[in-house]
Amino acid sequence: MTAEFIPFALPDTGPEEIEAVAKVIRSGWVTTGPRTKEFEAAFAGYLGGGVQALAVNSATAGLHLALESLGIGPGDEVITSTLTFTATAEVVRYLGADPVFVDVDPMTLNMDVAAVRAAITPRTKAIMPVHYAGLACDMTALLALARAAGIRVVEDAAHALPSTSDGVLVGQLDSDVTVFSFYANKTMTTGEGGMVVTRHQELADRMRVMRLHGINRDAFDRFQSKKPAWYYEVVAPGFKYNMTDIAAAMGLVQLGRLNDFLVRRQVLAARYYEALGGLPLVLPAAGGPARQHAWHLYVIRLAAPRMANGLTRDTLIQGLADAGIGTSVHYVPLNRQPYWRDRYGLTPEGFPVADAAYETMVSLPLYTAMTDAQQERIIAALTALLNG
Ligand SMILES: *Cc1c(COP(=O)(O)O)cnc(C)c1O
């Protein structure tokens, strides 16, 4: 008898989400409208600190809007981590600017602050920190560095809900814009979706207009307002990045469950630490009271690319798959991806830390819908492969 498959990730959605979505569909207003406005207000309230929140249809869209609102364009450089999803860097290319990739810190796998400092040139317009796995970058150091150099900061917080840096929630820090993702495998989901957060009124205004075709009135406002519904003005060639009320209704329920989700993720992470501590592995940096880990990912690294028993990252992944366990790798460093490698002439030697981490890393299943019994199966399979 084969054991049931344990997927790498699974959204935690149930009757409440289904009912909220059904209610929107029954209401007759399914695109951006009252639920989206409510979700934005609830999200801004969750973060606190007087931030504005703009719902979008993906974090990728949000990152694009953020850089566009900062006026980034051809000839500009934006510094980011090589150990991230390609979306972080592709939005820089959307605007005709160039990402500059830096290596990561060996413990946290977050962007190395000294490498960021060394990468700054007269063309540098922005830094995009990525809070890898849900552990915040050293934002105090990065914000000080950016401020001194007159550079803007856009946080890719796709993994970092909710995370803290020096005790402050990511989203409430002094960066220009912070972008969260509600993709299916993130710490909360709307299927597809994202949230852009800023304290800067002029950036919020620009992003609000560019989110919807460069139109200065959204459809719901036109529908509700006393002004004629047919009238609107196009002030820029904008994008189609608005969130639907169907997604927002799901987001409202998920946001209400977020703190419970975090507790469950913390329990699962603690169990992994306890069970895997004696194995020849590098376990992830855990954060602490002032640096709360969101536990989007639990990334283990083999102690060596080839273990004494012949085990490698690839055979470990295969062995777990054979035991009915899904895993993933976060990430193939961007310096190894053909487009980025060839366009910028990047080599693994230029990113020794990320590259060495990549050779040994595996992301284990970590999601709130996972049962204790499933986690015990993962631990047992991993232990057997490492000791085999
Ligand atoms: C998921 C992710 C994104 C993109 O999020 P979408 O909502 O899918 O656009 C960007 N950056 C990182 C680091 C991610 O993990």
Which CATH number does the domain housing residue 290 bear? 3.90.1150.10
- Annotated catalytic residue, options 23, 37, 125, 186: 186
Residue 9 lies in a domain: no
Separation of CA 117 and ligand 1 centre (Å): 25
Query: Are residues 20 and 159 both part of a single domain?
Result: yes
- Report the pLDDT value the prediction gives residue 220, as an integer from 0 to 100: 65
Query: Are residues 104 and 244 both part of a single domain?
Result: yes
Separation of CA 308 and ligand 1 centre (Å): 36
pLDDT-above-90 percentage for the chain: 94
CA–chain centroid gap for 165, Å, is 15
Give per-residue pLDDT as tens, 124-175.
999 999 999 999 999 999 999 999 999 999 999 999 999 999 999 999 999 9
Protein residue closest via CA to atom 5 of ligand 1: 59
Residue 208 lies in a domain: yes
How many contiguous H segments (helices) and E segments (strands) does the chain have?
13, 12
Residue 190 lies in a domain: yes
In short, whether 85's Cβ falls inside 6 Å of ligand 1 is yes
Query: Are residues 85 and 124 both part of a single domain?
Result: yes
Q: What are the contacts of 310-319 at 24+ separation with CB within 8 A? A: 311/385, 311/386, 311/388, 313/359, 313/360, 313/361, 313/362, 316/362, 316/382, 316/385, 316/386, 317/362, 319/381, 319/385
Residue 369 lies in a domain: yes
Mean pLDDT of the chain: 96
Residue 160 lies in a domain: yes
pLDDT, average across residues 335-348: 98
Domain end call among 255, 270, 303: 255
In short, whether 58's Cβ falls inside 6 Å of ligand 1 is yes
Domain end call among 255, 271, 293: 255
Query: Are residues 73 and 220 both part of a single domain?
Result: yes
Query: Are residues 241 and 289 both part of a single domain?
Result: no
Query: Are residues 206 and 263 both part of a single domain?
Result: no
Stated length of the chain: 388
Confirm whether 23 is a catalytic residue. no
- Report the pLDDT value the prediction gives residue 21, as an integer from 0 to 100: 98
pLDDT, average across residues 15-26: 98
C-alpha distances in angstroms, 66 versus 70, 128, 209, 368? 7, 11, 12, 30
Residue 282: which domain range? Answer: 258-387
Query: Are residues 219 and 348 both part of a single domain?
Result: no
Query: Are residues 92 and 224 both part of a single domain?
Result: yes
Residue 3 lies in a domain: no
Q: Which amino acid is at 195?
A: M
Q: How many structural domains is the chain composed of?
A: 2
Check whether 2 has a pLDDT greater than 70: no
Check whether 277 has a pLDDT greater than 80: yes
Query: Are residues 92 and 131 both part of a single domain?
Result: yes
Contact in structure between 86 and 332 (CB atoms under 8 Å): no
pLDDT tier at 1, thresholds 50, 70, 90: very low
pLDDT, average across residues 45-57: 97
Give per-residue pLDDT as tens, 184-235.
999 999 999 999 999 999 999 999 999 999 998 766 676 777 778 788 889 9
Domain end call among 222, 237, 255: 255
pLDDT tier at 307, thresholds 50, 70, 90: very high
Query: Are residues 138 and 241 both part of a single domain?
Result: yes
CATH number for the domain that contains residue 52: 3.40.640.10
Query: Are residues 184 and 288 both part of a single domain?
Result: no
Residue 149 lies in a domain: yes
Check whether 285 has a pLDDT greater than 70: yes
- Report the pLDDT value the prediction gives residue 181, as an integer from 0 to 100: 98
Atom of ligand 1 nearest to the CA of 159: 15
pTM > 0.95: yes
Residue 4 lies in a domain: no
Query: Are residues 169 and 228 both part of a single domain?
Result: yes
Contact in structure between 193 and 242 (CB atoms under 8 Å): no
Separation of CA 87 and ligand 1 centre (Å): 6
Distance separating alpha carbons of residues 254 and 46, to the nearest angstrom = 12
